[in-house]
Structure 1
Amino acid sequence: MNTPYQDAQSVGQAAVRTTILDHAIDLLVTEGPAALTMRRIATGIGASTKVLYTMFGGKEGLADALYREGFARLRRAQQQVQGAGNPLAHLNDLATAYRAHALAEPAYYRVMFEQAIPGYRPSPDALSAAETAFDASVTAVQACIDSRVFRPGDAYEISKLLWAAAHGAVSLEIAGHFPPETAAHRYDTLMTALGQSFLAEQGQSSDKD
């Protein structure tokens, strides 16, 4: 019977990388950061530590890869949101997708935003890569401005404010402060209220029509 590493090898280097990262994030969730060693990860997938050191350079490189992977997955989730005829509906759909992705990938979310790996600080390159995860949001905000749904403004800054609100609500939900029966409604109410503050006409609806 093949090891997970052998199965991944038969597919290619990208599959090997994903297998390593998936096992690493699983160890982080189930056993905590102390279990996140190159030897434990290598043993778990049936590979040598040399494979991990060659690919990531060491634990710091592995942590950086987990951070980058989290944002890469978020970027893909945002890119999969289909554009809507109504630019504000599209923006709201992106916000919904952000919450859904965070709840589906809570371990990566913690690596990205909650310093789940003690001592790890993202490199400038990693932070720059993370920034691209929100390109879809900036584009959607700009579409709202261009169509005069939003009053004129800086699409990048507005997107950052929307992210701050989304992140706060999602973090409270993941931490258990917002119970499941109220979390979705609170999230939608918060995002709708913030979106309304940028409307060109304050009476305009921000529902997902």
Structure 2
Amino acid sequence: MQQQVPRAEDPLTRLNDLATAYRANALAEPAYYRVMFEQTVPGFRPSAEALGAAESAFDASVAAVQACIESGVFGPRDAHEISKILWAAAHGAVSLEIAGHFPPEAAARRFTTLMTAVGQAFLADEQGQGRTS
């Protein structure tokens, strides 16, 4: 997934691009997405290779969040924890979309709105301090 995302100079743009790629990949391979993340096959556990690929994608998110922190876009917080929260939001929206709960004409807008809203919780304020939440 990360190879498909152009390397943006702006760290927040990079983070948003990764989220968009996550959604695009899930929509392109909904059966794979369901098997990997929704335990649609009882007792199935993804292979070490598949888990490694997922971990690599998550590491890219952590790095993008860390770049947002270092640039002052996000306040000083734990990049790993922020990434987990962003992933939870993205995963929820994508899962609902794949299940047909979001009509196609509204899904992209809802995804963007959700990710923007969640990301705002981590923005640095005018004094360079992170918001508390």
Scaled by the length of structure 2, what TM-score is found?
Answer: 0.86
Structure 1 position 181, deviation (Å): 1.0
Q: Does 1:151 align with 2:75?
A: yes
Partner of residue 89, structure 1? 13
**SS in structure 2 at match of 1:84:** coil
Q: Deviation string for 1:161-206 (max 9, x for gaps)?
A: 100000000000000000101111110000001111100027xxxx
Q: Deviation string for 1:15-68 (max 9, x for gaps)?
A: xxxxxxxxxxxxxxxxxxxxxxxxxxxxxxxxxxxxxxxxxxxxxxxxxxxxxx
Partner of residue 88, structure 2? 164
**SS in structure 2 at match of 1:166:** helix
> 1: distance between equivalents of 2:57 and 2:122?
22
Q: Closer, same or farther in 2 for the Cα pair 1:128/1:121, shift >3 Å?
A: closer
Q: Deviation string for 1:119-151 (max 9, x for gaps)?
A: 21347x568523222111111000000001100
Pick from 30, 33, 41 the counterpart of residue 109 of structure 1.
33
**Count of matched residue positions in the alignment of Structure 1 and Structure 2:** 125
Determine if contact 1:165/1:190 at 8 Å carries over to the other structure: yes
After superposition, residues 36-75 of structure 1 pair within 5 angstroms as: none
Provide the identity percentage.
Answer: 74
Partner of residue 142, structure 1? 66
> 2: distance between equivalents of 1:128 and 1:173?
23
Q: Report which stretch shifted further, 136-145 or 77-86.
A: 77-86
Partner of residue 175, structure 1? 99
> 2: distance between equivalents of 1:85 and 1:131?
23
Which structure has more helix as a fraction of its residues? 1
> 1: distance between equivalents of 2:34 and 2:51?
18
Partner of residue 35, structure 1? none
Runs of 4+ aligned structure 1 residues displaced above 6 Å come to none
The structure showing larger relative contact order (alpha-carbon pairs under 8 Å, at least 6 residues apart) is: 2
Scaled by the length of structure 1, what TM-score is found?
Answer: 0.56
**SS in structure 1 at match of 2:39:** coil
Pick from 78, 93, 114 the counterpart of residue 2 of structure 2.
78
Q: Closer, same or farther in 2 for the Cα pair 1:184/1:128, shift >3 Å?
A: closer
